[in-house]
Amino acid sequence: MRIQALLAVSCLALGCYAGTEDDVATDGTDDVSTMSGDSGDTTTDGSTMTDTGTTDMGTTDTSTTDTTTGTTTDTTTDSSDTGSECQGGPLDAPIPGCAPAALPSTGDIHQDCVDRINQFRWECQCLPPLARWTAAEDCTNQQSSDDQNGGGPHGNFGACGENAQNTCPNWGSEQQIISGCLQQMWDEGPGDPFSEHGHYINMTNPNYSKVACGFSYDGGVWSNQNFAP
């Protein structure tokens, strides 16, 4: 099978998967474990495979093509939140222990998810916001449902044209994902191995300019966050 090769890693619980891209023929498999949103478990498993690059708490697969490229929505961030911290531009590393309270809900969970990711990027590391990838949201909702109902984390990676993916599998509520899962992902911080830091790496990767959040509700709340250039 002809796919882009990448060094990928699956993270237990929240799940990570990502890597570098090369146009070569390869195949591989990976083991992915999920974690309950109630447990707060963030342990990882660094098993590797070659496949397309997603990082989440989820897995990747690039055999599908991007059918959802297109519309993005600009997102703004209030620079006053960080005072003078960001006057010199992006920080080389996140502010230690950065855990901002979640912003008030907009009433749109997809926007809340994007806003939360951008809140971490700006308030914790002075990084510019990602655009809301609205054209991929319907696809990411369906992908989240397919993963939740048998596909497993990253079971349908690549279906929405994403380059990387983070996954919050079967959490108790939307708010737990916004306040809890995304915070746990950010708290991984930079470093190696990727299996322990992949979610943060996806959230801050300078190669990505937009993100689509998807949600599914079947005995829990499942959310995929898909990143793309």
Question: By the 8 A CB rule, do 71 and 28 touch?
Answer: no
Residue 92 lies in a domain: no
pLDDT tens readout for residues 173-218: 999 999 999 999 999 999 999 999 999 999 999 999 999 999 999 9
Residue 119 lies in a domain: no
**Structural domain that includes position 189:** 2-69+132-228
Residue 101 lies in a domain: no
CATH number assigned to the domain comprising residue 21: 3.40.33
Residue 137 has pLDDT above 80, yes or no: yes
Give me Rg for the CA atoms of the chain.
Answer: 16
Confidence (pTM): 0.73
pLDDT band of residue 18 (cuts 50, 70, 90) is low
Listed as own residue / partner, the contacts of 176-179 with beta carbons closer than 8 Å and 24 or more positions apart are 176/37, 176/221, 177/37, 177/113, 177/221, 177/223, 178/102, 178/109, 178/112, 178/113, 178/116, 179/102
Total domain count, the chain: 1
Can you tell me the mean pLDDT for 5-28? Answer: 40
Helix locations, 89-180, DSSP H: 109-125, 137-146, 174-176
Residue 123 lies in a domain: no
For residue 76, the model assigns a pLDDT of 46
pLDDT band of residue 85 (cuts 50, 70, 90) is confident
